[in-house]
Amino acid sequence: MTDTSPKIRLVLSDMDGTILDSDHTISPTTAAAVQSLAERGVALALVSARMPAAVLPYARQLGLKGPCAGFNGGVFFRPDGTILKSHHFPVDDLVAIMEALSSFPVEIWFQTEQEWLVPNSQTPLVVRERELTGLTPREVVSLPIVSETVNRLMVCSDDTALIARLEEELAHPFAGRASLLRSAPHKLNITPAKATKGEAVSELAKLYGVMPQEVAALGDAPNDIPMLQAAGMSIAMGQAQDSVKKQASHVTGKPDEGGWAYAAETFIMPSAPFSDESGK
């Protein structure tokens, strides 16, 4: 019987906890799997909560040729750093979000296409993020409420229960104005409403000339759920929460166990345009 199911032509992958090992590197096994996919006609795009500058080194390391997405789908850019599309907060929405957060003991950071702005660059949470991304923030006296500039607010606290509660409690008041999703237990990403990884599936599919059902997505965190729901094939990492795994058609191993390469070889390659070694 002829297989009429859609071929996978594009892979969208989260970075931290997915394509990156726990030491924030891409393993040789994973890099080889990316190359094998390319040889079979399957492109890879990184889709991350990170800002572009923290995605680009990995895109270049992997030799990616097409667009990637940062800020959970809030900005789309080429591997040379050219910005293709960007979602920013209107001033009114920034003011409203800051007012809603004003009574909570959390750190708030702003990120733009080019900069990471913080009130205090020496807090443990900032230091942790700097070590994770390799980026250095700019310390400012006050966070600038400026139109068409801010792509993302990061709300951070080691009180992970508070971060989870804020994700839930602020979702309704800002429905249609902002997306609120955790990328890690201590980090709540607030982006413009259309800046989600689900929207990134549609946008990147257009940019690569494929249909959403020809897209495979891999992720591990709550902010990956919209991407897993929108893609034709969805794969959750082994350490993902049950709420994430329930949205996936497949579950693979953990990053440090070769989970990304296993997913590529076991689930994606059999559905690639050229599924044999000869590429025919």
Render pLDDT for 122-158 as a digit per residue (tens, 0 to 9).
999 999 999 999 999 999 999 999 888 999 999 999 9
Fold: same for 10-86+196-271 and 91-192: no
Q: Could you tell me the two tokens for 78?
A: 């080429």
7 — pLDDT class (breaks 50, 70, 90): very high
**Cross-strand partners of 265:** none
Listed range (2-16, 89-103, 146-160) with the worst mean pLDDT: 2-16
How far apart CA 280 and CA 76 sit, in angstroms, is 32
The per-residue pLDDT for 275 is 62
Is the pLDDT reported for residue 213 higher than 80?
A: yes
CATH number of 91-192: 3.30.1240.10
Could you tell me the residue ranges of all domains in the chain? 10-86+196-271, 91-192
Is the pLDDT reported for residue 159 higher than 60?
A: yes
The per-residue pLDDT for 204 is 98
pTM of the predicted model as reported, rounded to 2 decimal places: 0.89
pLDDT digits (tens, 9 = 90+) for 179-212: 999 989 999 999 999 999 999 999 999 999 999 9
The per-residue pLDDT for 3 is 47
Q: What torsion, rounded to 10 degrees, do the Cα atoms 177, 179, 180, 181 define?
A: 180
- Distance set, CA 93 to CA 24, 153, 157 (Å): 33, 11, 22
Per-chain mean pLDDT for the chain: 94
The per-residue pLDDT for 276 is 55
10-86+196-271: CATH topology is Rossmann fold (3.40.50)
The per-residue pLDDT for 6 is 82
Q: Are 192 and 74 in contact (CB under 8 A)?
A: yes
Residues 6+ apart with CB under 8 A from 127: none
